[in-house]
Structure 1
């Protein structure tokens, strides 16, 4: 298949088969549930009546295929469809000529949805069907906005919530939350202090001047992932084995807290890795914990949480570890988890600085 034909068939962003099945299966079940429950809620024998509102099918595309879209959130589905129905019915009552009423209803519905912050593309079709839907829609009047429009929209969003939980995809969509400072201060997390800022993003969106089908919070999270991927690509050739310290000051788990504390003070360290008899890393020991456990073995002051890497690990893998504020060092171990080196934040900064200098020289 040629590249042009492939792009025509699959598009620029190919969809995984599992995502296609999840979206199609969710829409099938969602519309079925909305139709059955809607019919049971209002009674009667016309079981297909709730599904005769064609725009609900378009709403299902958004809710189940692109559940992260701002246009697919419950506020948009419910508000957009109901507001559009009310606008369409009002225009149909005031203007009897469909040729004029139809485009006016759609235009007013779009403007109203945008002003109210509930833009939902199928709402345009809802407004249109209120004008050209025939005698049954005209006879129902404003009740048409309640049943089937509001009822179907409510049941569809409920089905979307249930399907999202069943498949492990949150709906309504929750935008990623920026990581907080590990020290519980007002400062942003270390990784969020460099690169673009919230003001940069707002200014870029203002200059772009187009309504995007993605939230600002999702854009922020996406761009930061792009930054991280770019950094990894640029620095992936440097390995942890290239920059680690090999003469590691370490503690034994069976030595006394007093001797371990003296050892740390001698080397002006606040923390050191703890190893077992085979030299495997089993944790970290800090001055404060050792001081609180005088008269006992180092094992009593052990913190089992250790960040481990291998000599072949790219140093870019350390960026999220050592920039979070929760860890200041990573232990380099072999296949048997034996300690062979350590990398501190200082080591990482020095390596990145050296790489930056080399790139600048090469570029010059």
Structure 2
């Protein structure tokens, strides 16, 4: 019998396929994240039930907590970045849907028709109010078939307990996520703007895909994704950067930085700093303290806006480490504000500087090598 020629990696991959049903289907899902979600759900549901029991006095005719809160907790604690898990989605979606369900139950006597109308109209109401929340469908359904307790509560049911449950759950979720180091409510990455206040897109956004390309791709896929358009844009930009780091990540800051750095001291006057900038034809000076440690930077812009003629107007420095991938500086050096990165050692002492020109020269050399060319561009501290 012939020996198998398949690699261990291939066998491992086939073995994993057998268990693909047990693999996370959400990007970024890890066991740690899921465990945090479990603990959050335990805290959220338990505390919501305790508080509602205290406030409502454990009324035997009024549910302590409605069943859709369990589904809301899954979204709130397991996928807190989802648009469907945000505060307005949870509170508005559950409350509005419960109100729709109560209204349908009051108007429609046929149960089979009422349950269908309640869920479908709840989806419509949540869509119109930008509060789409899957457990809202269960809230609408509960309002119709919830039994004597719900019928007795009538139009109070959407407020007590649904809205009260939802608000408490959201407040507990906000506190829990803050304590666990997560961001909630989710804040999409702000859309980049041109720092020069012109109509042109920022430099880094002028090449590659555009926002309208995302819209076209979504239309062609004909899918509704549980992620905002802005988050898709930010994710794809990060994917581009990670791919570039993988391809060119072996080039370090120490390989391309200028080592003979022109610096200023804390006691350097604005006039002396301006003279240094003009003499060396650079746009920024690192400013050092008496122990040779970096305390900030100064450039022509700061000098032009400075009010004290005897003190340097400092700005925070953009810094890197010698062992950082040089390509990783690309987002900062193309943001329209940062003209150079100061390279520091472990003691915050300046060991080099990388300007836009340095990085541009490096990229040009890489492109020339890829195309078989021999030309090279020089580098310098400033542009």
Alignment size in residue pairs = 357
Root mean square deviation, CA, Å: 3.7
Is 1:134 matched up with 2:147? yes
1:206 pairs, out of 215, 219, 238, with 219
2:354 aligns to what SS in structure 1? strand
- Give me the whole-angstrom Cα distance separating, in 2, the residues matched to 1:26 and 1:92: 34
> Do the aligned partners of residues 337 and 38 (structure 1) sit closer, same or farther apart at CA in structure 2, a change above 3 Å counting?
closer
* 1:84 and 2:117 matched: no
In structure 1, C-alpha distance between the alignment counterparts of 2:266 and 2:23, rounded to whole Å: 62
Q: Could you say if the C-alpha distance between residues 149 and 304 of structure 1 is closer, same or farther in structure 2, counting changes exceeding 3 Å?
A: closer
Does the 8 Å CA contact 1:272/1:285 hold for their aligned counterparts?
Answer: yes
Distance 2:290 2:157 in 1: 77
Aligned with 2:47 (options 6, 17, 33)? 33
**1:229-248 aligned within 5 A:** 229-245=242-258, 248=260
C-alpha displacement of 1:118:
1.5
Task: Give the unaligned 5+ runs of structure 1.
Answer: none
| Distance in 2 of aligned mates of 1:154 and 1:310 | 46
Structure 1 residues 210 and 287, CA, compared in 2 at 3 Å: closer, same or farther? Answer: closer
For residues 75 and 259 of structure 1, do their structure 2 counterparts lie closer, same or farther at Cα, with a shift above 3 Å needed? closer
In the alignment, the residues of structure 2 paired with residue 121 and residue 301 of structure 1 have an alpha-carbon distance, to the nearest angstrom, of 57
Could you tell me how far apart the structure 1 residues matched to 2:276 and 2:106 are? 88
What does 1:137-152 correspond to in 2, within 5 Å?
137-152=150-165
CA, structure 1 residues 42+316, in 2 after alignment: closer, same or farther (shift >3 Å)? same
Distance 2:141 2:302 in 1: 71
TM-aligned CA distance change 1:98 to 1:343, over 3 Å: same
Cα deviations by residue, 1:54-110 (Å, 9 ceiling, x for unpaired):
111111111122121111112211222222222222333333332333233222222
Which structure 2 segments of 5+ residues have no match? 1-11, 374-383
* Cα shift readout 1:163-203 (whole Å, capped 9, x = no counterpart): 23332323322212234444566655433343322332333
- Bigger proportion of residues as helix: 1
Q: Which of the residues 184, 189, 195 maps onto 2:208?
A: 195
Judged with a 3 Å threshold, the aligned counterparts in structure 2 of structure 1 residues 266 and 175 are, in CA distance, closer, same or farther, namely closer
Cα distance per residue 1:130-161 (max 9 Å; x no partner): 23222332333322222222221222222222
Which segment drifts farther, 233-242 or 9-18? Answer: 9-18
Aligned match for 2:173, one of 160, 163, 170? 160
Question: Partners in 2 of 1:151 and 1:260 — Cα distance?
Answer: 62
Structure 2 equivalent of residue 125 of structure 1? 138
Q: Is the 8 A contact 1:31 1:57 kept in 2?
A: yes
The corresponding residue for 1:328 is 339
